[in-house]
Amino acid sequence: MYKNSILKPCGRLHQSPVGNRKEGRALNTNAPGSRKRGRPPRLSREQIVEAAYRIVRDEGAENLTMRRLSRVLGSTPMALYHHVRDKDELLTLVLEHVAQDLPRPPLPDNPRERIIVVCELMHRAFVDNPWVVPVVARGELVGLSAVWMTEEIIGALIDSGLGREQAFWTHQTIWYYTAGQTLHTPPREPSQDTGERAPHYPKVAATEPSPTAFPHLAKVAGDSRQLEAQYSYRLGLTHILDGALPPGSALR
């Protein structure tokens, strides 16, 4: 009795509309519009790196996580770990992705000129990819295809007469200057109320609390905006080199 009860449902359940609907769905799995479940599409390392690059470019490296990236790719975090070990390895791959597209033009023979050309290339790369600065500032991650810039700068500093330690330290000074220029906050927009910009800080300092409180700032208060506009990355780099390089190595 029990055997027949298991193999053959009673008449009421067999005729149930719910049972018919289940049966109908089972027989209609190939109907148009039905979706088959399966594994997500297979990923390549190139797809992962490109998607990660778009995230750090648009949102910053701090917003790159395996979970965030997996959502963008329609995959799972575990699937990503088949291609990259962790976030640091992923960032290294993204840095290399950017570094491979950087230009590498012929360089001048003169060491000082060579430093300036390479540093301006580095500055341009940072301006185009500002998210790179805080990542490489850690000193642990790097795109190897961009390391030639460091090699050229240190080599040119040594060719200019600096010792090994001085060349390395001067390169560090140049790097931090370049990074700071990249992250420099642009001047405020004109006031929406009056259409004029607020007074520049030297002018404010020269008049408050008294005109004699900051006499040197008072000397530049009148045209400090114009002086600021004339300042450039190359001018600041020239000041660094003038102070760091031995006499006689200046660009003529």
Return averaged pLDDT per consecutive 10 residues of the chain, 252 residues in all.
40 42 42 49 89 96 94 93 94 96 96 97 95 93 95 97 97 96 66 64 74 81 87 94 83 44
CATH class label, 45-99: mainly alpha
pLDDT the model gives residue 213: 79
What whole-number distance in Å separates Cα of residue 49 and Cα of residue 115?
A: 31
Q: Where in the chain is the domain with CATH 1.10.10.60?
A: 45-99
pLDDT the model gives residue 17: 45
With beta carbons less than 8 A apart as the criterion, state whether 61 and 134 touch: yes
pLDDT the model gives residue 76: 92
pLDDT the model gives residue 128: 93
The encoded tokens of residue 110 equal 């003169």
Nearest residue to 52 via CA among 7, 83, 17:
83
SS3 string of 103-139? Answer: CCCCCCCCHHHHHHHHHHHHHHHHHHCCCHHHHHCCC
Global pTM value: 0.74
**Residue type present at position 231:** Y
What whole-number distance in Å separates Cα of residue 130 and Cα of residue 57?
A: 8
The residues, any chain, with a CB within 8 Å of residue 30's CB and separated by 6 or more, are none
pLDDT the model gives residue 249: 64
